[in-house]
Structure formats: structure tokens, C-alpha cells
Structure 1
Amino acid sequence: MFVERQVELRFHPSSRDARTHTNLSAVRADDLGLWLAGDETATIEHLTFRGDRFDDQRTFALADFVDLPAGPMDEADIEGLARTDGWLWAIGSHSLKRKKAKRQHSADKSRRRLGTVVREENRYILVRLPLSGSTPVRAAGDRTAAILAGPGRNLADLLVDDPHLAPFLAIPSKDNGLDIEGIAVLGDRVFVGLRGPVLRGCAVLLEIRPETDPRCPGRLRLAPIDGAPYRTHFVSFSAVNGPSLQLLAVDGFDGSGRVRQRDSLPGMAKPCRVAMPIADHRAVPRHAGCVQSRHRVTNSNNKTTGREVIPLGRERRSSWLDGVESRLTGEEGVLADVVKLI
């Protein structure tokens, strides 16, 4: 077991009622505390560090800053957060859902549910919010809140002719379809990590360059990269059978990603580092190849769903989140693992 300790995250009753605290899917640190998101709402949360816990929750509804394609109430399934250069970024899973067959259902109803695939448009968003200190705002000087979303503009729709990813766009995420679960920002480049699809043991990383649409400051558009709206990178993990990549942090001159088995077996989370040179986007290799493990989390009856590098003193530590209810505290908080980085 490599978990150094645990730290409590405390949430307001409204968030507990919405089950945000047991559905945490993304985390990002700032100077005051943590940014968090759950996959069952269309909100972002901020908790302030209070010495022995993260507390004083503030909730920010995405619909207060941008126009969500399905309105303010539908979940956005936020799976990645990034914070850099005075911006806060949030990305949805861009995934389809297949309905579950439940034990109490009849055989006919179970068959119908398994044959039903749902697309929820709020999942297909990339949001960029300007920050004033640790508070997102609609506008700060010439910087405005903006969203990449809508038919023909969202990231999934831009992949319809991709030779590797297009065949997976109509497949639900749990069946190895498209499933975004991480984001990291390096200058004007945004790297998006895919949990799925996994292609013959290779995880997929998308590189994009979002910019404000001059015709509509509340929208983002993608600047071309080598004449295309995006670039794909393939990361081969020879030591892991069927990995997926969740790019969740930037560390110095590297993008830091996390790998886990496609079957999400307990205890299979493994953080890795993938070299991503910053100086010239054309120098980024399309096949990253070697990945080195920094540490492992092996304590697990839990499945980790979020990770962030947190500077505590002179050493770096990583926080891991999951939604297992055994982590709930008497103060109606949830415990996150803290792991010292080697």
C-alpha cells in the first residue's frame, strides 16, 4: 500500500443531496484549494484548504457562464478540469450511454433497455472560463467565458471522418466507444485524454487549439493544426493489457497521464508520465511509446476517478478520488487518498 494518508473533502447539503460527493469525476488544485466536478450535474465546485480538510464549498453552475446545448438542468458529465494562465477549463465525456438492465426488470424490459442508447448533448462540451482570483466570471477585460458545443462544432462531431475514431462514435462509452476522461493545457494547446476507445493496446490522445470565435465571443472554435482541427497521438503501454489514458495534470515539461484497465478492476489504477515537449507543437511525437510509472495505488477495493498533483511544502503529492460510499465521513464529507510522488 502506497497511500500516505487521507484528507477529508466536505460538501454542503445541496451537493450531498445531488450525490456530487459520491460521484466525483475531476479534480484540479489552485493556490487556495481544489476545483472539483461530479458527473451527475452541470456544476463545478471549489473547496478551500483549512489545514486538515478541504471545506467552504462554492458551487458554480456552468449555465451561468455559457449557453449549454441541453439547458441548465441536464447533467454535463464533466470528466476533466484544467487551470492555467487565468483560465479554468472543463470538458464533458462526449460519450453515449447504454441503459442498464436491472435485477428487478422483466426479461423483455431488460432486453429493451440494453438496446437503448442515449445521447445527452450537455456531455458534448468544452468550456473555458476566465478566473478572477479563484472565482470564475463571464468576462474579465477582453477574456470571455466560451464553449465548444453544438451540432457540427463539438469535438465528437469533428471526428466523423477520422480513420481511427469514427467507427467508435456510435458506440456507448462502456462498450469501448468514445469516452473523454481528462484534459491538460500547455500554452495554446489542449490535450484531451481518452478512456476509450483503446486500439490494440494503444490509448488515444487528442491535441486541439481552441480559440475564441471572433463572430461570437461566447463560443470557441478550433484553430488548425497542420491544416486539420485536431491531431491524434497514440500511446502504447506494453506492460499493461488494454490500458486507457486519462490526461489529468501537467508536470514541468511533461504531460502526466493515468492508466487503468478497461475492465476497471479494483486496484488497477496506475499513474504514468508521458513526455510532451512544450517548445514546439510540431515536435510532439504521434507515438509516445515509453511510459514510466511514478507510483501505484494498490490499497483498493476502490476505483479511482480523479487525480491531481498538489504541492504540499517542498514535496509533491497526488490526490485520488473515488465515489465509494465507505469513504463517507461523519461530517458528511468524503475521504481522498494522498500519495507521495517519487
Structure 2
Amino acid sequence: MPSPPYTLRFDPKLSINPNGDDVRDGLSAAVITGNNLWVCCDERTTIERLRRTGPRSFGKHCSYKLADLVDLPEKATEEVDLEGMGEAENYLWVMGSHSIKRKNAKPEDPNIAKQIGRLAKIQVAPNRCLLARIPLVQNAKTGDFELLKSAPHPTAPDQKLRAAQLRGDTKGTNELLQVLAKDKHIGPMLKVPAKDNGFDVEGLAASPDGRLFLGLRGPVLHGWAIVLEIRPEDHKKGQLRLGQVEGGEHKLYKKHFLDLRGMGIREIRQQGTDLLILAGPTMDLDGTIAVYRWRNALFQAHDSLTPADQLERLFDVPHLPHLDRAEGMALLSEQEMLVVFDKPAPKRKPRPHVTLANIFPLSSAPSATEG
């Protein structure tokens, strides 16, 4: 028997953006800290915090504007396309898709030539190239975790937590993209839109030792999905740069290739020394969505190639045609995973400003931590 879903309630005053879109209709990532569930919507420039309000519900919606916490490359009304969040060492890490986009055709428009022309238009969106960390500190009075631009370290009084982001510019690039432009696998795909199997970051996991693991929805190369391993470090106030990563062919990142049977990566979550991978179609089409366990992923000493028989397929995520696209995962415990959805089906929206998140059991235990 499947577990009953969790109810997520959003504040009507905060859930609708200026274009009339509801935050519940585009959830793209999820993280749990204490009694708080953090989610983001790929159509917004905000991060949403909910609080546990019952045994199977989250509510008391609070919204944080990214522009109040980091320096966005372009105006705050332009979408960031947030697709990844991770938490480690008193920081919430957030990441945009880093993708370029192609205009879509509108078949209802009788001007066929115009619509064919739209399919040739490529857009660069600088706000999508955001990789940042934001201090995440628990309020002693309320028990809620809060996002701040700077804050005293909760356990080290002589240290200060500061928001910072990877060096970038207003032209739609940053240090990561500049380095990857020379990569023989990824470089050619940086000029390909996300929906065409181009470069598209959709998962982020943060390790306590300072490493980040970035799951790519695309490109998928001859069936192999890609995880990038990087180590951002402080550069100067408010800025990060890529630190050296040991063991890779390239000094500033490692590449890990996973045989996910042709699927791309929609989300990544760390559990112990393992990474849990939410996999699905790389392009905008219906197909299998499944969760895998990649054991001891944090101990890959070099660039790696992991065949399908070394990945545990934990469960498939049911969905309807064109709806209920699983996009975000949050660990409720070592035994349960909460999954949130983009384009939720009507039955997933029983009331206004409410959506339902599914719970799945994790049928195998995480790998033991070394030492």
C-alpha cells in the first residue's frame, strides 16, 4: 500500500506571481531542515519555506526573494529557473539550470511562417547562471530556519556566515560555464537549448566536506547521464571560485557517467555516502521516471563510469501524460523520500493553493560512512 501523501499549503498572498502563475504548479526542488520544507519554482525568483503543521502536512508559507540575498545578473523579475537546492554546513546552496532556451511554436496561431521562425530563436538568460550559497540559520525563538545575507556562525562565534555566488557576468556565463566550454563532452552542448538535449543542470547535492554534485538532465551521451563534481571556495567578499578537485582529468571538476538507460537526471540527494538519483526523460516528453541509488558516490577517486548493473533502481514514480513530472526529492528520514511535482495533475490540487507530495519508501539502507 502506498503511503498517504503530504499536503503542502501555500499562502494565497505569496503563491501567485505577477504573471498569474501559482508556485505549486512548477515545483522543481525540495530540501528539509528540521521542521521546515524548502521548495522552489522554476518560474520564479524566490525560495519558499513551509513549516510542518501536522503529521502529514506543511504550511505557514514564507517566501524569500533571491534578489535580497544575492546579486542576480539581470533584473529580479527575470526567472532564475531554479532547479537545484542542497543543504550543508549552515548553508543552503541554490542553482539555476545554466541552460539556454529555444522559443516554442504556437500551433494555434494561423501564421505558420511566424511560428516556424520562433523555433529558430535562441535566448540566453543570465539569471539562469546562478550558483550561490545562502546562510541558513535556525531562529531560537520560532524553531524555523531562516535565510540571511550574513549571520554569526551558530557554533563558532569567531566566524561569520556570508552569502556568496560563483563569479559570473551579465552576458549569461560564469566560471563554471567558461571552464566547461573547453570540455570535449560538454563543451559542444553548451550552445544547444535544454529541451534539445543541451546542457541543463537539474540536480544539486551538497556534501559536508564542501563538494557539490551537479546532476545534468542533459546532455545524455549515447545513453550515459552525467554528474559533475566541483568544490566552490571563497574568493572575495560575496564571490566564490572553483577550487581544485583531486583525481579528475580536469583540475576544477570531475565527471561521472551513469548508465540510466538513456534517462537524464532530474534531482540528486545525498544519503550517507550514497547519492539518490531521480531520473527521467532528458527532453520534453513522457517517459519513465525512476529513483536510483548510486552507492559510495562520494568516494569516487577519479572520473568514473558506472554501468546500469551497479545502480540500484529503488522505485518508479507514476505520472500521467504531460502531467505530474517528478522534479524534487527531500529526505523525510532514512526510510522515506518526499517527492514534489512540476505540472501537477488536477487530483493533486484538491483545493486552491494546495498541492500533494508523494511519499516513497527507501527499500535499501544507505552505505556506511567510512571511518
TM over 0.5: yes
Please report the RMSD computed on the Cα atoms of aligned residues, expressed in angstroms: 1.9
1:272 to 287, 292, 297: 292
1:150 to 145, 168, 171: 168
Number of the residue aligned with 1:57: 61
Q: Which blocks of at least 5 consecutive residues in structure 2 are unaligned?
A: 139-144, 153-159, 364-371
1:21 to 2, 20, 24: 24
Q: 1:42–1:76: structure 2 CA closer, same or farther, 3 Å change rule? A: same
| 1:287-321 superposed Cα distances (whole Å, 9 cap, x missing partner) | 1332111122235442212122212xx84233332
1:75 to 69, 72, 79: 79
Q: 1:119–1:128: structure 2 CA closer, same or farther, 3 Å change rule? A: same
Number of the residue aligned with 2:10: 11
Q: 1:338 and 1:146 mapped to 2: Cα distance? A: 33
| 1:79-119 superposed Cα distances (whole Å, 9 cap, x missing partner) | 01111111101100001110010123211110121010111
Number of the residue aligned with 2:220: 198
Offset of 1:256 from its aligned partner?
1.2
What is the letter of the counterpart of residue 74 of structure 1?
Answer: E
1:332 to 353, 367, 370: 353
* Range with greater deviation from structure 2 (49-58 or 163-172): 49-58
Q: Secondary structure at the match of 2:58?
A: strand
Question: Is this contact kept in 2: 1:29–1:308, CA < 8 A?
Answer: yes
* Range with greater deviation from structure 2 (285-294 or 315-324): 315-324
Q: 1:57–1:77: structure 2 CA closer, same or farther, 3 Å change rule? A: same
| 1:26-71 superposed Cα distances (whole Å, 9 cap, x missing partner) | 1111111210000011110000011142100111111111111112
Q: Secondary structure at the match of 1:58?
A: strand
- TM-score w.r.t. structure 1 length? 0.91
Question: Is this contact kept in 2: 1:22–1:324, CA < 8 A?
Answer: yes
Number of the residue aligned with 1:36: 39
Number of the residue aligned with 2:156: none
Q: 1:161–1:285: structure 2 CA closer, same or farther, 3 Å change rule? A: closer
Q: Secondary structure at the match of 1:50?
A: strand
Question: Is this contact kept in 1: 2:101–2:193, CA < 8 A?
Answer: yes
1:139 to 142, 145, 150: 150
Question: Is this contact kept in 2: 1:86–1:130, CA < 8 A?
Answer: yes
Question: Is this contact kept in 2: 1:82–1:90, CA < 8 A?
Answer: yes
Q: 1:183 and 1:172 mapped to 2: Cα distance? A: 20
Number of the residue aligned with 2:367: none
Q: 1:288 and 1:272 mapped to 2: Cα distance? A: 12
Q: Secondary structure at the match of 1:5?
A: coil
Question: Is this contact kept in 2: 1:22–1:325, CA < 8 A?
Answer: no
Question: Is this contact kept in 1: 2:266–2:328, CA < 8 A?
Answer: no
Number of the residue aligned with 1:113: 118
Question: Is this contact kept in 1: 2:29–2:340, CA < 8 A?
Answer: no
| 1:138-161 superposed Cα distances (whole Å, 9 cap, x missing partner) | 112322100114246342232110
Q: 2:45 and 2:29 mapped to 1: Cα distance? A: 13
Are 1:89 and 2:93 matched, yes or no? yes
1:305 to 327, 341, 344: 327
* Range with greater deviation from structure 2 (55-64 or 5-14): 5-14
Offset of 1:20 from its aligned partner?
1.4
Q: 1:168–1:6: structure 2 CA closer, same or farther, 3 Å change rule? A: same
* Range with greater deviation from structure 2 (92-101 or 63-72): 63-72
Offset of 1:247 from its aligned partner?
4.1
| 1:167-218 superposed Cα distances (whole Å, 9 cap, x missing partner) | 10111000000000000011211000000000011001100000111xx320
Q: How many residues align?
A: 332
- For 1:150-169, list aligned pairs within 5 A: 150-151=168-169, 153-169=174-190
Q: 1:175 and 1:265 mapped to 2: Cα distance? A: 11
Query: Structure 1 vs Structure 2: percent identity of aligned residues?
Result: 32
Q: 1:119 and 1:191 mapped to 2: Cα distance? A: 24
What is the letter of the counterpart of residue 102 of structure 2?
Answer: R
Are 1:322 and 2:342 matched, yes or no? yes
Question: Is this contact kept in 2: 1:38–1:77, CA < 8 A?
Answer: yes
- TM-score w.r.t. structure 2 length? 0.84
